[in-house]
């Protein structure tokens, strides 16, 4: 992006109190909430929108992820959705005028056994067919792309091959949130931080607004873009969700002076490694097995995850853990997002993002805005809450986080 | 580090245990049998606060027990609390 010149971030916050009524009120000013507001205002001319957050913008899972953007999923509906999102990320800097530090790196998904290699070959073929550029590559090519790898896997996890996702990328998570916040605020959307929503206003079965610590706000449509605590919010509307909240931990090491080019994930060991723009090695693995709302890290996780990553990348053993963090993920029972109508008039949700909400921000926001404005959004149609009652689960545990 | 009281082994590190989910509870307000099945198969209470759960002492006595836990702090509470 050499032609790109960054302009200073400008967030024109509203002063004073929220209005008593809006067309759309969005609960949660993270990536998904702000992106929905941004696309409602810029694509569909709906600017009478208010976004509320109990803390500051991007303070939830948008600030606690591992910033990976990819589309190599396990079912065609997901691949198409995330590929659209990945392509929107590629042009987001040009569209918003904000530098999000988008960096296309390629993602390698390692296979350590014959059967996993077959899975990765299938994935590559299926992804190609759905428009996500993915090839199956052998150990020589893996070594060329990532010289730091120990192809013998410490003797226990030999590398048979990998699927290589060409367009895998990373972007700075905070900057994505700021880009959407700036775009939304400039278009006239109201964003109120430190304004917790404490309940929903209801008229019979209909949701008509929200109760906040700064008074009641009525709304034509209330959208929950809440992360981990979504079941509580949906409960106020009488909606039961197939969501369980789990903690997902990740950490960075001190800076590694050399370049570590791609994003590397391992199917059998279950972890993933990439390098941040500051040179730190960012390492993550699966979510904690028990349900929890506690945003806490644990030594047992750091220990297990370090051991796995050092198995494949011995140089990591010489680095030190600098910082770790935990987000609470709204994991759906079939591991796919739940987005759209809830069956309750005036109440819509964007949830179930589990361990892959960050990469879905542009497509999730634009499609939900389209659904609100026009009543139809083809890419998210398969991901409605009604799929469970219709017995069409979108089973796709296709991430290191959900193994 | 969290320590959890096992009814058989006493206080042991949290990492020795395995999560066995909450007791499934379909609300009585759902009366249609099909809707009750959907709720049982898919929906989760996902309580933000005190829950009643099953836990398995995997690296200890290898027995199941019922525990009360606050999901916002991961603290285990006495069952009769």
Asked if the A21-66+173-243+333-402 domain carries CATH number 3.50.50.60, the reply is yes
pLDDT at residue A10, as a whole number: 85
Predicted confidence (pLDDT) per residue in A348-399, tens digit? 999 999 888 999 999 999 999 999 999 999 999 999 999 999 988 888 766 6
What residues of chain B, 16 to 75, have a C-beta less than 8 Å from chain A? Answer: 18-19, 21-22, 27, 35, 38-39, 41-48, 51, 71-74
Residue A195 pLDDT: 96
Report which of A44, A45, A48 is spatially closest to residue A22, judged by C-alpha positions: A48
The alpha carbon of A259 is separated from its chain's Cα centroid by a whole number of angstroms, namely 25
Q: Are A289 and B19 in contact (CB under 8 A)?
A: yes
The beta-carbon neighbor of B72 closest among A231, A289, A294 is A294
Q: What is the mean pLDDT of chain B?
A: 91
pLDDT, residue B43, reads: 93
pLDDT at A399: 63
| pLDDT at residue A2 is higher than 50 | no
pLDDT score for A140:
97
Decide if pLDDT at A8 tops 50: yes
Residue B80 to chain A, least CA–CA distance (Å): 22
pTM: 0.94
**How many other CB atoms are there within 10 angstroms of residue A324's CB atom?**
18
Domain boundaries, chain A: 21-66+173-243+333-402
* Residue from B15, B42, B70 to probe the interface with A (highest A Cβ count within 10 Å): B42
Residues of chain B contacting residue A232, judged by C-beta atoms under 8 Å apart:
48
Residue ranges and CATH numbers for the domains of chain B are 1-23+49-81 (3.30.2270.10)
pLDDT exceeds 60 at position A98: yes
**Chain A contact set for B75 (CB, 8 A):** none
Q: Choose the closest CB to A240 out of B15, B18, B39.
A: B39
Given a contact cutoff of 8 angstroms between Cβ atoms, the answer to whether A145 and A106 are in contact is yes
ipTM of the complex: 0.93
* Tens digit of each residue's pLDDT (9 = 90 or more) over B35-73: 999 999 999 999 999 999 999 999 999 999 999 999 999
d(CA A205, nearest CA chain B) in Å: 14
Q: Is A6's pLDDT higher than 60?
A: no
Q: The dihedral of CA A192, A193, A195, A197: what is its sign? A: positive
User: What are the C-alpha distances in Å from A1 to residues A98, A182, A210, A363?
Assistant: 12, 21, 42, 22
Handedness of CA A139, A140, A146, A151 (dihedral sign): positive
Mean pLDDT taken over chain A:
93
pLDDT digits 0-9 by tens, A159-213: 999 999 999 999 999 999 999 999 999 999 999 999 999 999 999 999 999 999 9
- The DSSP code for A8 is P
Are B1 and A299 in contact (CB < 8 Å)? yes
pLDDT at A400: 54
Contact A192, A14 (CB under 8 A): yes
**pLDDT at A388 (0 to 100):** 93
Reply yes or no on whether the pLDDT at A401 is more than 70.
no
Across the interface, of B38, B46, B48, the residue whose CB is closest to A388 is B38
pLDDT at A1: 40
Percentage, residues of chain B above pLDDT 90: 79
Nearest Cα to Cα of residue B66 among B77, B52, B80, B76: B52
């Amino acid at each position: 992006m050499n032609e790109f010149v960054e302009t200073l971030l400008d967030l024109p916050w509203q002063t004073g109190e929220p209005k008593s009524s809006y067309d759309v009120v969005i609960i949660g000013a993270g990536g998904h909430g702000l992106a929905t507001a941004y696309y409602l205002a810029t694509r569909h001319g709906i600017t009478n929108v208010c976004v509320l957050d109990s803390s500051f913008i991007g303070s939830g899972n948008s600030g606690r992820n591992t910033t990976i953007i990819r589309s190599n999923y396990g079912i065609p509906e997901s691949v198409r959705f995330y590929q659209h999102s990945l392509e929107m990320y590629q042009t987001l800097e040009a569209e918003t005028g904000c530098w999000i530090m988008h960096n296309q790196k390629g993602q390698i998904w390692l296979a350590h056994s014959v059967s996993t290699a077959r899975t990765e070959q299938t994935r590559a073929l299926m992804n190609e067919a759905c428009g996500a550029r993915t090839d199956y590559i052998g150990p020589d090519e893996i070594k060329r792309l990532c010289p730091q790898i120990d192809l013998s896997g410490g003797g226990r996890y030999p590398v048979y091959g990998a699927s290589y996702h060409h367009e895998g990328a990373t972007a700075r998570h905070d900057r994505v949130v700021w880009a959407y916040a700036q775009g939304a605020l400039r278009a006239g959307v109201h964003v109120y931080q430190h304004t917790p929503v404490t309940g929903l206003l209801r008229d019979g079965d209909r949701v008509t607004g929200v109760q906040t610590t700064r008074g009641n706000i009525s709304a034509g449509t209330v959208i929950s873009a809440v992360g981990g605590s979504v079941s509580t919010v949906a409960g106020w509307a009488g909606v039961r969700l197939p969501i369980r909240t789990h903690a997902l931990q990740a950490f960075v090491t001190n800076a590694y002076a050399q370049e570590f080019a791609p994003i590397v994930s391992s199917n059998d060991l279950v972890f993933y490694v990439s390098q941040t723009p500051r040179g730190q090695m960012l390492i993550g693995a699966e979510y904690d097995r028990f349900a929890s709302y506690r945003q806490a890290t644990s030594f047992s996780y750091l220990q297990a995850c370090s051991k796995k990553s050092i198995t494949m990348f011995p140089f990591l053993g010489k680095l030190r853990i600098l910082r770790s963090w935990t987000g609470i993920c709204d994991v759906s029972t079939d591991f796919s997002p739940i987005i759209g109508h809830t069956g309750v008039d005036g109440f819509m949700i964007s949830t179930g993002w589990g361990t892959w909400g960050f990469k879905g921000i542009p497509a999730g926001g634009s499609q939900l805005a389209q659904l609100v404005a026009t009543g139809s959004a083809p890419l998210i149609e398969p991901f409605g809450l009604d799929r469970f009652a219709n017995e069409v689960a979108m089973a796709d545990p296709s991430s290191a986080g959900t193994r | 580090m969290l320590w959890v009281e096992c009814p058989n082994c006493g206080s042991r590190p949290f990492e020795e245990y395995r999560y066995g989910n909450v007791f499934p509870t379909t609300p009585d307000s759902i009366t249609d049998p099909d809707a009750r099945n959907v709720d049982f198969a898919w929906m989760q209470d996902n309580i933000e606060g005190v829950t009643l759960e099953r836990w398995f002492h995997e690296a200890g006595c290898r027995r199941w027990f019922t525990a009360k836990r606050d999901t916002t702090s991961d603290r285990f509470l006495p069952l009769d609390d």
